[in-house]
Amino acid sequence: MIHKYQLNGYYIVLDVNSGAVHLVDKLFYDLLDDVDEAHLTEHCPQQIVDKWSGCYPEADIRETYAEIVSLHQADQLFSVDDYDRFAKMMTPSPVKAMCLHIAHDCNLRCQYCFADTGEYMGHRQLMSFEVGKAAIDYLINHSQGRHNLELDFFGGEPLMNFDVVKQVVEYARAQEKPHNKLFRFTITTNGVLLDDDKIDFINREMSNVVLSIDGRREVNDRVRARVDGRGCYDTIMPKFQKLEKARRNGAFDQYYVRGTFTRYNKDFAEDVLHLNEMGFDQISVEPVVADPSAPYALTEEDLPEVFAEYERLANIMIERAGTEKEFNFFHFMIDLDQGPCAIKRLRGCGCGNEYVAVTPDGDVYPCHQFVGHDDWKMGNVFDQSLDQERKAQFAAATVYGKEECRHCWAKFYCSGGCNANSMQYRGDILKPHTLSCELEKKRVECAIMIKAALAEQA
Amino acid sequence: MKHVKTINHANLKESAVKGGCGECQASCQSACKTSCTVANQKCERKQK
Ligand code: SF4
Ligand code: SF4
Ligand code: SF4
């Protein structure tokens, strides 16, 4: 399978199964329409020469055809799909990552919150240390031979229960040696309650921190409002800046400012640039996923504008590459050479298999987005239970287990999308949310185009 | 080659045979998290 596209003046061809990316000329690009992938003859068939000889010199056509054949022989073009056998071997894995819902409560009322403004269709509740401790034991117990364990403090707003965050970190650290594990902590916060003490703790202990802010003041405050309706930009921006500055000298440098764009700000590249101007260089701004009836929801209709905006952003990033104003846009980061192995790419999302979420009651769910959907409950940390049948179902949710993904050119970049969105919008974890697919494919095209442009410039 | 320039040295197939140790970061592709494109992740396998 190949995927070819034109963007920003480049002709790009992806060989899906080998992962090779080719920058080609127009003749090469055109000829690909006529070559028969299954029966690639050694010499250029006469009808191909005849078809194109009005546009290109015959010698060039033959020469290009020969290049196609030689790339095929090198297994870099029309390479065969033999991943099915690996997909079939994808059995359930140990649990190694956990999302700890430290607070089912929030001090903001963001309109697009998937978590029901922190309540998760339940009631406002903070996790006790007892539950947190049992969750750590549960993770260690279910992680078997895995060494690296990930624990994400999530909410609601985790800073509303920060004392328990500290206690859990302390407890988990004490378990590392006896159990031969390494914990990596991460936290996602809206920033409202950040102070010097919390910044210090986060920068010392959390290998990654996600700072939620949508970009420009008016964009952020329209959607990310407090209980009384006031916006939060002026409170959080200086705190985030302080955290980021302090982090530069710390043990961990990873962080992201992350925002959501909606129908209200389809010019979201401006928000990315704004965040960069405010001093951040690790930026993630992502499309809202919402019921189409919501006023802020993105729909099929919005795609052309959103696509154009992604292209605009990609061009700005090419211009800025190598300059002081360079920044990372999370969704355009792609490693074409040293990225993860193909096995990892077969099943991107670890939900319900190597990743679980734990609620303030100690209930275990496949991931944070399944919390509140009672049918999906998988166990409880106090009795160590874990529904193995459910786990096997998620383990089988590879790109080869999903019919649409199997035939999708982006499968090894996307790895099958979000199971929770699939469940919510199409009623089946094996059926990807179509709008998200369109957006993902556009982002991959842009990300690869950026690589191509930079390779050309070099 | 004159009409094509290959810009990477990807060998996904080889990586399938050698990979799958499971030590790398679990990824979430949803907008509500540190969502990411799997393809940008770091491999943590000790010996390649
Ligand atoms: S650490 Fe590397 S080899 Fe192991 S599963 Fe991840 S990407 Fe594959
Ligand atoms: S873009 Fe959609 S169809 Fe393609 S791999 Fe991702 S989830 Fe599957
Ligand atoms: S199902 Fe979606 S939200 Fe849950 S871990 Fe997977 S990608 Fe993330």
Q: Which of B17, B40, B46 to mutate: most A Cβ within 10 Å?
A: B40
pLDDT of residue A171: 98
Question: Distance (Å) from the C-alpha of residue A15 to the closest C-alpha of chain B?
Answer: 10
Q: What is the pLDDT along chain A (458 residues), one digit of tens a residue?
A: 999 999 999 999 999 999 999 999 999 999 999 998 888 999 999 999 999 999 999 999 999 999 999 999 999 999 999 898 888 878 888 999 999 999 999 999 999 888 877 788 888 999 999 999 999 999 999 999 999 999 999 989 999 999 999 999 999 999 999 999 999 999 999 999 999 999 999 999 999 999 999 999 999 999 999 999 999 999 999 999 999 999 998 889 889 999 999 999 999 999 999 999 999 999 999 999 999 999 999 999 999 999 999 999 999 999 999 999 999 998 898 888 878 888 889 987 889 999 999 999 999 999 999 998 999 999 999 999 999 999 999 999 999 999 999 999 999 999 999 999 999 999 999 999 999 999 999 999 999 999 999 998 88
pLDDT of residue B41: 76
Compute how many other C-beta atoms are within 10 angstroms of the C-beta atom of residue A281: 15
Interface contact A306, partner B, CB < 8 A = no
B4: nearest CA partner in chain A: A24
Interface of A with B in 382-441 (CB under 8 A): 412-415, 417-418, 420-421, 440
pLDDT of residue B40: 65
Distance A138 CA to ligand 3 centre (A): 20
- Which chain A residues touch B24 with a CB distance below 8 Å? 340, 344
pLDDT of residue A66: 97
CA-to-CA distance for A295 and A292, rounded, in angstroms?
A: 8
Ligand nearest to the CA of A355: 3
- Which chain A residues touch B4 with a CB distance below 8 Å? 13, 22-25, 28, 67, 71
Decide if the complex's ipTM is over 0.95.
no
Interface contact B7, partner A, CB < 8 A = yes
Residue B35 has pLDDT above 60, yes or no: no
Element (H, E) at A118: none
Q: Which of A403, A408, A436 to mutate to test the pocket of ligand 2 (most atoms within 8 A of CB)?
A: A408
Residues 6+ apart with CB under 8 A from B47: none
**CA A165 vs CA A127, A128, A146, A216: distances in Å:** 9, 10, 23, 30
Q: Which atom of ligand 2 is nearest to the CA of A411?
A: 5
- The model carries a pTM of 0.94
Contact A31 CB / ligand 3 (< 6 Å): no
pLDDT of residue B48: 43
pLDDT of residue B28: 79
**CA A271 vs CA A9, A57, A70, A284: distances in Å:** 26, 48, 45, 10
- Beta-sheet pairing, A379-380 with A363-365: antiparallel
Q: Which amino acid is at A170?
A: E
Contact B4 A24 (CB under 8 A): yes
